[in-house]
Amino acid sequence: MDTPRGVAAQAERSANQVACLRFLADAADTANAADALTVGAISAGTGLSRPTVHAVLDDLTEAGLVEPTEPSTAGPGRPARAFRFAREAGLVAGVDLGPRGVRAIICDLSGRRVAYTELRQDPSPELIQRAVHAAADKCAIDLGRLRAIGVALPGVIEPNGYLRASLALPELVDLPIADVVAADLGKPVAVDNDIKLAALAEQRVGAGSGYSDVVYLQIGQRLSVSIVLNGVIRQGRHRLAGELGAQRGMRWTRNAQRGQLVWASHPTGEAVLTAAANGDAGAQAEIEDFCAQIAARIATVLLTVDPEVVVVRGGLAQDSGVLLRPLVAAVEKELVFPERPPFVASALGREAVVLGAVGNAFDRFGSDIYGVKDYPSPWHRITHDHLPH
């Protein structure tokens, strides 16, 4: 049995590993990523003693997370030992599977994106791993370095990765998605609801960054709500938090048909918003009427959760104003108290789901990915570069 002293020593060792690895990763963000740092530089940057840094780097080198190399500059005499973060040593994938196809990204251990692909095919569990393989093949990446996968699906997801209910993907209901993907790729798989993962990404590094309590509202083919409280997705006891469309007989709006929004002035919600932004009076009137219909239910969510901010995604970023203005005005009419959260446009757009999927994999499997306890997920690097639109 571990003694208290042994547990404390292990915790200190892990903290020192995290400090050194983070310093090397952060240094690569501001310098040539191929540059290495000496033990002296790492000691000065982390505040750890040189003997401690030597011991930590030996552990990290053995784990394959750090690579010894020659220093970028060498003075007279014997060159000092230098080290770099071997971010290419491992990979983490994120996949967004929807009714119209799949999107997949692959990141290295630092969170930098190294591959991306989109496939327009009929959804199936096999399409998830097919997308990961396609992204890897596209960039000549060896999937033998893959360490974890995050998957986003529309619907109610059980903790074990089963899809319990889904209006968008009824053909996949009751399938063990996590088990199927894990069996093919041989790595741990984290599966969660697409809108919940979008909300998480927006809270971590998007329009909700800096806030702990965020309500995320997506308007397009569906109207969906997700909640992040204290920086954590609110799942609920039965993982039904935010599933407002599951109330029997409840329709958000007159144009909702089995969870799908059917627009009158243009074929899609995005097209309606774009037309409204371009001055189409019919589209503008439809948006205003839509906002008036959903305002009472949004107000109910706000009074139940009392969030710090509401992040709204609907259409293209440049068209967000034509939705936010009437939505805010309509919600204000429903509220008695003057205190209310700001409504802001999504910063990540349609990327939020797949970014949330890969970020969730880093969060869930950090110890497996790095072999270092409590190493923070590299959210800020995951979202640094934008995906193709």
Structure tokens at 153: 């699906």
Task: Give yes or no for a contact between 93 and 105, defined as CB atoms under 8 angstroms apart.
Answer: yes
pLDDT of residue 9: 82
For each of the domains in the chain, give its residue range(s) and CATH number, in order of start.
4-87 (1.10.10.10), 90-197+350-382 (3.30.420.40), 207-347 (3.30.420.40)
pLDDT of residue 104: 97
pLDDT of residue 219: 86
User: Per-residue confidence of the chain (389 residues) as pLDDT tens digits?
Assistant: 467 777 788 889 999 999 999 999 988 776 554 568 999 999 999 999 999 999 999 999 999 999 998 655 555 656 677 899 999 999 999 999 999 999 999 999 999 999 999 999 999 999 999 999 999 999 999 999 999 999 999 999 999 999 999 988 999 999 999 999 999 999 999 999 999 999 999 999 999 999 999 999 998 777 889 999 999 999 988 888 887 766 655 556 666 666 678 888 998 888 999 999 999 999 999 999 999 999 999 999 999 999 999 999 987 777 788 999 999 999 999 999 889 999 999 999 989 999 999 999 999 999 999 999 999 999 999 876 655 54
Task: Give yes or no for a contact between 34 and 84, defined as CB atoms under 8 angstroms apart.
Answer: yes
* Spatial distance between the Cα atoms of 274 and 295, rounded to a whole number of angstroms: 21
**Residue with tokens 């529309």, as numbered in its chain:** 154
* Spatial distance between the Cα atoms of 142 and 122, rounded to a whole number of angstroms: 26
Q: How far is CA 367 from CA 28, 323, 371, 375, in A?
A: 22, 42, 5, 7
* Spatial distance between the Cα atoms of 130 and 115, rounded to a whole number of angstroms: 14
Nearest to 65 by CA among 22, 94, 124: 22
